[in-house]
Structure 1
């Protein structure tokens, strides 16, 4: 860490939005401060947090002049990122989410890759998905050939493993119009499509990012709404291909954004019911993946689902699988001991 040492002209601007991330923000900040590349700035938009996130961020900024914190009323991730990218000083912008971690060499390796070829507009990396307690869930890989990777993004909806994995050229970002406010969710997918139309995406095969899958995360709780925004982004892509006006589709996205914002202000009982359903779905997804990995920690997630939803038959099935895996593992140990 370069405490109280300001970088005058950072090579990379890291942009992060934070909303009530007091339990994870410290590890996320540390992962940037431990980078092998030293000349970076970190712009954190505290998007209306009501927990201790703001205090934690201010303390970190007081100890490291490379960290800039902007406090604002809650406007959502997309508008927060627009503000953060507008403030970025470096020619390259890297994303980082407040509940994820970057490997120490991430910024250095991604900067080397993007500078190696003028056709590369943005770069990502292989990524590990982990559970709330750091349980390994899966490793997400992407094609090593830039042309293949770009084709898959444009035509097969196969893009960066996580939003926070990406570094992009600031000029490319500006040229394609940056993040677009009508996309409350899937703002990253919309941006990657527009970038891939004018440049290549490249992936580093090293695992340089850990994406944390949490019950309260957007990925965990709003998958259905995310998918609807994703479809609108694809429709925008098709309109551009055909020389048609995107505006009617963007207006649909804006209406959907207004709907999401209204949902957040519904009465507490309805909000509590939705969160319970979303949490059940997310705990099931985590538990199921851990069962596939033969990780005994799946049991706690599946039991949590069943406490709230005793008739959740898929959870009973996965729980039985987990116990069967455990018994088979014990039998193997006993057999090996005897031999």
Structure 2
């Protein structure tokens, strides 16, 4: 029998309505050397029975049952069973494109420095997607390569968690942590800030379900404030590790939220960059409000751009680059 090339790590909780289609998408993979660890996190519906029946029909599927403790516990439980060279994340309500596993394995083999690789997604059902959901999908699919992923990492998680395939050794070394904020974003930022490389296959290889009941919509750990706390924590560990003061570009709701989170770690803005005429010249929380051109004389060592919207951020990046500042060295965009 050929050696298993990839373990599929799939937490399951009350997914009876979506499991059959999800499992069918696994069976259609062109890469056949996979094994699926389905971690049932105390489901109260027919999920365990569906998985058990599937395991009888296909011996590559394995059901691991545990009491309900949440997604972090389920992921860490399942991770211990993964012994193949690669581990692919999957959610029980999503579908895989038939070439997903093959293309991501190939990408990792061609790029040995990559510790993980993501792919683009297609949200569904299309008719139920909100305008915000479509914008988020477009933003995710705008990440074309490793450089884009690093630049966008402080905005939000720049890759859909169930689209990731990891080098198993890296995933097991890092594991999933419980901090009360998104476990996927936490893992991605930990990996990036510790020098790991995450690549991208810029093809839509995952159909990513967008529903009102999705955990990312219902759990407090995925709310906006939780994302902000997560990025603030890792900014302090990395970009602001040696800098208690920074220049904050933007003091709208997004900027104020990040400023408050960074203040919990004794990081505060020395200056605030604004373009709003009424704010220029004011002093906000001890920080003078300046115009962008003042940065040429100030030459700060650390600039945190905290402005909502991809279009405004693109203009700010152009302005900072024109002034000679380098992204991820002198400034980051952290919306």
Give TM-score scaled by structure 2 length. Answer: 0.65
- How far residue 223 of structure 1 moved from its aligned partner, in angstroms, is 6.3
- 1:256 is matched with none
Q: 1:195 aligns with which of 170, 191, 210?
A: 191
- 2:143 is matched with 143
- 2:40 is matched with 46
- 1:34 is matched with 28
- Aligned 8 A contact 1:78 1:185 in 2: no
Q: 1:213 aligns with which of 210, 214, 220?
A: 210
Q: Which has the higher helix share?
A: 1
- 2:58 is matched with 64
- How far residue 235 of structure 1 moved from its aligned partner, in angstroms, is 2.7
- 2:165 is matched with 167
- How far residue 224 of structure 1 moved from its aligned partner, in angstroms, is 7.3
- 1:78 is matched with 72
Structure 2 segments unaligned to the other structure (5+ residues): 244-260, 265-335
CA distance in 1, matches of 2:186, 2:62: 27
**Between Structure 1 and Structure 2, how many residues are aligned?**
236
Task: Rate the CA distance shift 1:207–1:38 in 2: closer, same or farther, 3 A.
Answer: same
SS of 1:129's partner is strand
Q: 1:55 aligns with which of 28, 46, 49?
A: 49
CA distance in 1, matches of 2:220, 2:112: 35
For residues 118-159 of structure 1, give each alpha carbon's deviation from its aligned partner in whole angstroms, at most 9, with x where no partner exists. Answer: 221111111111138787974541332322322321x33351
CA distance in 2, matches of 1:53, 1:243: 49
Task: Rate the CA distance shift 1:132–1:26 in 2: closer, same or farther, 3 A.
Answer: farther
Q: Which has the higher strand share?
A: 2
- What are the residue-to-residue correspondences of 1:1-339 with 2, within 5 Å? 9-131=3-125, 138=134, 139-140=137-138, 141-153=141-153, 155-160=154-159, 162-175=160-173, 177-180=174-177, 182-197=178-193, 198-222=195-219, 225-241=222-238, 242=241
SS of 2:208's partner is strand
- How far residue 227 of structure 1 moved from its aligned partner, in angstroms, is 2.7
CA distance in 2, matches of 1:45, 1:12: 16
- Aligned 8 A contact 1:213 1:219 in 2: no
Structure 1 segments unaligned to the other structure (5+ residues): 1-6, 253-339
Aligned-residue Cα RMSD (Å) equals 2.5
Task: Rate the CA distance shift 1:44–1:157 in 2: closer, same or farther, 3 A.
Answer: same
- Aligned 8 A contact 1:16 1:98 in 2: yes
CA distance in 2, matches of 1:46, 1:120: 30
- How far residue 11 of structure 1 moved from its aligned partner, in angstroms, is 0.7
TM superposition outliers: structure 1 runs of 4+ over 4 Å:
132-137
- 1:277 is matched with none
CA distance in 2, matches of 1:243, 1:45: 41
Give TM-score scaled by structure 1 length. Answer: 0.64
